[in-house]
Amino acid sequence: MTVATLFLFATVALVVIATPGPTVLLALANGSRFGVRSAVPGMLGAVASDFVLVGSLAFYRRSAS
């Protein structure tokens, strides 16, 4: 891997990681509109869905090999 490719990868990764997705924007909107206590169930749901997504991918990858 060349230095230019590594720099391009790091730049794109930084932009993608730093950009908030719809889940983060929804949590911010609910937190500012209804308060943090009311936004917590939505945030926990987002975390649970991430676990389901990663877990299903891990299960799929394990069963494929």
**Residue 43 is assigned to a structural domain of this protein:** yes
Are residues 27 and 46 in contact, defined by beta-carbon separation less than 8 angstroms? yes
pLDDT tens-digit series, residues 6-50: 999 999 999 988 888 898 899 999 999 999 999 999 999 999 999
Count Cα neighbours of 52 within 13 Å in the Cβ-side half-sphere.
6
**Residue 5 is assigned to a structural domain of this protein:** no
**Residue 61 is assigned to a structural domain of this protein:** yes
**Residue 9 is assigned to a structural domain of this protein:** no
Residue 29 is which amino acid? A
Q: What values do phi and psi take at 19, rounded to 5? A: -80, 120
Domain count, the chain: 1
**Residue 51 is assigned to a structural domain of this protein:** yes
pLDDT, residue 65, reads: 65
**Residue 3 is assigned to a structural domain of this protein:** no
**Residue 1 is assigned to a structural domain of this protein:** no
Q: Which domain holds residue 39?
A: 21-65
